Structure 1
Amino acid sequence: MVTIKLYPTLDEKVAVLTGAARGIGKAVSDALIENNCKVVIGDILEKEGQEVVDAYNEKAGLKVAAFIRTDVTKYSDNIALFKLAETEFGGVDIALMNAGIVTGADSMFTPLDDATENRIIDVNAAAMIKGTKVALLHMAKRGGGSIVLVSSMAGIYSAPNLASYNASKHAVVGYTRSFQLMPSICNVRVNALCPFWIETELTAKFCNSDYEKFPYAKVISRCRYATMECLVEGFMTLTTDESRNTQTLKVLPDGLEIEQAPVVPDSFSGSADRETLAQFIPAAIAVGKHELAEALARYEQQR
Structure 2
Amino acid sequence: MEQVVVVTGAASGIGAAVARHFGRLGARVVVADIDEAGGAAVAEEAGGLFVRTDTTREEDNLALIEAAVAAYGGLDFVHLNAGIGDGGGFGQDDYDAERQHRVLAVNLHGVMFGLHAALPVLAAHGGGSLVVTSSMAGVGMAPFDPVYAATKYGVIGLVRSLAPTWQEKGVRINAICPGFVRTPILPPEAIDYIVGEGFALAEPAEIAASVAEIAASEEAGRAYVLQAGSAPEPVAFPRLDLVRTDT
- TM-score by length of structure 1 reads 0.75
Q: Which runs of 4+ in 1 moved over 2 A?
A: 54-57, 110-114, 217-222, 226-230
Q: 2:104 aligns with which of 110, 118, 121?
A: 121
Structure 1 position 241, deviation (Å): 1.1
1:18 counterpart residue number = 8
Unaligned runs of 5+ in 2: none
1:97 has 2:97 as partner: no
Structure 1 position 239, deviation (Å): 0.8
Rg larger in structure: 1
2:243 counterpart residue number = 269
Residues in 2 aligned to 1:206 and 1:124: alpha-carbon distance in whole angstroms: 24
1:246 counterpart residue number = 221
1:204 counterpart residue number = 187
More displaced 10-residue stretch of structure 1: 73-82 or 225-234: 225-234
Residues in 2 aligned to 1:153 and 1:166: alpha-carbon distance in whole angstroms: 9
Residues in 2 aligned to 1:233 and 1:241: alpha-carbon distance in whole angstroms: 13
Aligned ranges 1:1-303 → 2 under 5 Å: 12-57=2-47, 65-104=48-87, 106-109=88-91, 110=93, 113-178=96-161, 179-184=163-168, 186-204=169-187, 207=190, 218=193, 222=197, 223-242=199-218, 244-255=219-230, 256-264=232-240, 268-270=242-244
- TM-score by length of structure 2 reads 0.91
C-alpha distance 221-24 of structure 1, shift in aligned 2 (>3 A): farther
- Whether the 8 Å contact between 2:183 and 2:204 is mirrored in structure 1 is no
Unaligned runs of 5+ in 1: 1-10, 58-64, 209-216, 273-303
C-alpha distance 176-220 of structure 1, shift in aligned 2 (>3 A): farther
- Whether the 8 Å contact between 1:21 and 1:48 is mirrored in structure 2 is yes
- Whether the 8 Å contact between 1:108 and 1:161 is mirrored in structure 2 is no
- Whether the 8 Å contact between 2:194 and 2:201 is mirrored in structure 1 is no
Letter in 1 for 2:172: R
Letter in 2 for 1:149: V
Residues in 2 aligned to 1:30 and 1:171: alpha-carbon distance in whole angstroms: 28
- Whether the 8 Å contact between 1:82 and 1:135 is mirrored in structure 2 is yes
Q: Which has the higher helix share?
A: 1
Q: Deviations over 1:137-180 (max 9, x none)?
A: 21122021100000000000002221111101111111111122
SS at match of 1:261: coil
SS at match of 1:180: helix
Structure 1 position 52, deviation (Å): 1.7
C-alpha distance 221-121 of structure 1, shift in aligned 2 (>3 A): farther
Aligned length: 242
- Whether the 8 Å contact between 2:76 and 2:129 is mirrored in structure 1 is yes
Letter in 1 for 2:34: I
- Among all aligned residue pairs of Structure 1 and Structure 2, give the percentage whose two residues are the same amino acid: 31
Structure 1 position 271, deviation (Å): 7.2
C-alpha distance 206-88 of structure 1, shift in aligned 2 (>3 A): farther
